Structure 1
């Protein structure tokens, strides 16, 4: 039994720290207001930084899936049209599932790699690699 525990400890010592860490990944809640018939997401930059993704990539996904146009103004995102917080958060959660969370180990520690014309979701925790659509 001692040999088993020794081997187990040795295996754990070789794992990356990110795999051993189990903390809850939370995206900041959307802070929005309305300016006429436009919706302003005040903490867009904070959300993008927490997702660890390119601002333009998240922006394009949001406007496409909300079916609107918009513009990034500093740390804010201005969307044409009136959108409820729940609608915006649902699209952000879809983005999270599709482009951030590793399908294998469910870790948010990932990045997007482009190889030729194909983009891959590369997990920094478990090393898994999955092709992305579009």
Structure 2
């Protein structure tokens, strides 16, 4: 048994640190381009599917927090204005913290429930329930 643990420890010590800290849940990096004075997010649908949220909900959050208008075209999101990748990813990460990640157990396995006029973030992992604004 000691030999097994020694081999296991040696294997772990040779792994890169990033592999050891890798999270199960990662949001895809934003793939964007510019068309004149518009920013096109090419992988918007992929991002929304990974977040497991309604496309319109994510769209409304983005345009509100970026202070712009936009339109969903197929799997792309076209925003009026020029936005840097870092700026877009920061707003998406804010959405992730507010509407996806459970505040109790930090699990991304959540869904949004609506009761009357109040929306709740329901965690599928720990069962916690938090009201959303």
TM-score by length of 1: 0.83
Distance 2:105 2:84 in 1: 32
What is the number of equivalent residue pairs in this alignment?
Answer: 133
Q: CA RMSD in A?
A: 7.0
Superposed structure 1 runs of 4+ greater than 4 Å apart? 1-23
Residue 72 of structure 2 corresponds to 72
Distance 2:126 2:18 in 1: 9
- How far residue 24 of structure 1 moved from its aligned partner, in angstroms, is 2.6
> What per-residue deviation string (whole Å, max 9, x for no partner) do you get for residues 36-55 of structure 1?
00000000000000000000
Q: Which protein has greater RCO, CA pairs closer than 8 Å, 6+ apart? A: 1
Name which of structure 1's ranges 63-72 and 4-13 shifts more when overlaid on structure 2: 4-13
TM-score by length of 2: 0.83
SS in 1 for 2:93: helix
- How far residue 8 of structure 1 moved from its aligned partner, in angstroms, is 24
SS in 1 for 2:61: helix
SS in 1 for 2:87: helix
- How far residue 25 of structure 1 moved from its aligned partner, in angstroms, is 1.1
Matches within 5 A, 1:13-52: 23-52=23-52
Name which of structure 1's ranges 19-28 and 39-48 shifts more when overlaid on structure 2: 19-28
- How far residue 98 of structure 1 moved from its aligned partner, in angstroms, is 0.1
Name which of structure 1's ranges 92-101 and 4-13 shifts more when overlaid on structure 2: 4-13
Q: Structure 2: where are the runs of 5+ without partners?
A: none
